[in-house]
Amino acid sequence: MARTYETIFALGGQISPTFKKTFKSAGDATRDVEHGLQSVNQEAKEARGVFGKLGKVTGDFGKALYRVTQYSGAFALVQGAAGSIGDLASSITDYQDSMNQLQASTGASKQEMAALSGSVKNLYNQNIGENWTDLADALSKAKQVTKEEGKELEMTARNAIVFRDVFGEEIPESVKASDTMVKNFGITSDQAFNLMAQGAQKGLDKSGELLDSSNEYAPHFASLGFSADQMFDTFSAGLESGAFNLDKVGKAQHCRLKIAA
C-alpha cells in the first residue's frame, strides 16, 4: 500500500454523466419561471428551449428564462443546449422538491439551508450525482452520520457519491466507515475515501467486507498506535498470506497486538 495519500478516484474519466444539463441551478428564480410559464404563448411552445431561438419567445417567459440562465451561471450552456420548456419546468420543480426533502430530513434552519442548497448546486455543477434528489439525499445521509457542515460536508458527500458510482457501495456505508477513520486516525474525508478506494482497487474487498472491517477495526488499530495506512497494510498482508476475509485478518492482528502490548 502506498504511504502517501493520493487521489485515485478523481472525477476525470471515472464517471460518465447519465444526463445532459440544460442549466446548472435554479435557485431563487423559480418564482420568475412560474410566472413566465403562465404567460407563454404558442410561439414559445415551438422554441424547444434552445437559447439561440429565445428571440422567438415572446412575453414574460423569455425574460424569465433569461434571468434563470443568468442567475445559475448557465448562460453559455443553455445557449448551446437543446431541451424543451417542459424539461426546464420539471427540473426546477425537482430542485425545489429536493430542497424541501433535505430540510425535512436534516431539520436545517433557514440559514443552514442556504449553505446546504449551495453545496447541492456546487455538486450539480461538477456533474456529480444523478439528479437534484440524489445530491440532496447524499448530503442528508452524510450530515446525519458525520454532523459536518459547509465544505467538509460537501466534500464527504461528493466522495461518497463518487465512491458509489465507481465501486457500487451504498452511501451510508462508505460515509460511516470514512467517519470512523476520520475520528480515530485524525485524517480527512479525502484521505479516508482514497484509502478505501485504493484498497478496493487492490482487491481488499474480495469478500465484500472492506467497509465493514474499516469501520469495525479502525478504533482498535488506532488505540494500539497504528495509522490508517498501517491498518490497510495489515489488511493487504493478511489477504496475501492466505486469509479468506478481512474480518479474520482484523481479529487475528488485534489479538496478537493486544498480547504483545
How far is 94 from 73, CA to CA, in rounded Å? 19
Q: For residue 71, what pLDDT is reported? A: 47
pLDDT above 70 as % of the chain: 58
- Is residue 247 in a domain? yes
- CA angle 154/157/161 to nearest 5° reads 140
pLDDT above 90 as % of the chain: 49
- Is residue 41 in a domain? no
In angstroms, how far apart are the furthest CA atoms of the chain? 81
Question: What's the total number of domains in the chain?
Answer: 1
The residue among 112 and 39 whose pLDDT is bigger is 112
- Is residue 128 in a domain? no
- Is residue 79 in a domain? no
- Is residue 249 in a domain? yes
How far is 67 from 209, CA to CA, in rounded Å? 49
How far is 49 from 40, CA to CA, in rounded Å? 12
Q: Which helix (H) or strand (E) holds 212?
A: helix 210-223
- Is residue 242 in a domain? yes
The residue among 90 and 178 whose pLDDT is bigger is 178
Q: Which three cell numbers stand for residue 180?
A: 470512523
- Is residue 35 in a domain? no
The residue among 77 and 3 whose pLDDT is bigger is 77
Of 212, 164, 214, the residue nearest 185 (C-alpha) = 214
Domain hosting residue 236, numbered range: 188-261
Cell 480515530, residue located: 184
The total number of residues shown for the chain amounts to: 261
249, 235 contact by CB (below 8 A): yes
The residue among 55 and 92 whose pLDDT is bigger is 92
DSSP 8-state code for residue 24: S
Task: Average the pLDDT over each of 81-90, 159-168, 209-218 and give the range with the smallest value.
Answer: 81-90
Q: What pTM value is reported for the model?
A: 0.66
Task: Tell me the mean pLDDT in the region 16-26.
Answer: 36
- CA angle 149/155/160 to nearest 5° reads 115
How far is 118 from 102, CA to CA, in rounded Å? 12
Q: What is the 3-state secondary structure (H, E, C) of 155-200?
A: HHHHHHHHHHHHHCCCHHHHHHHHHHHHHHHCCCHHHHHHHHHHHH
Q: For residue 55, what pLDDT is reported? A: 43
| 206 confidence band (pLDDT: 50, 70, 90) | confident
Torsions phi, psi of 47, nearest 5? -70, -30
- Is residue 218 in a domain? yes
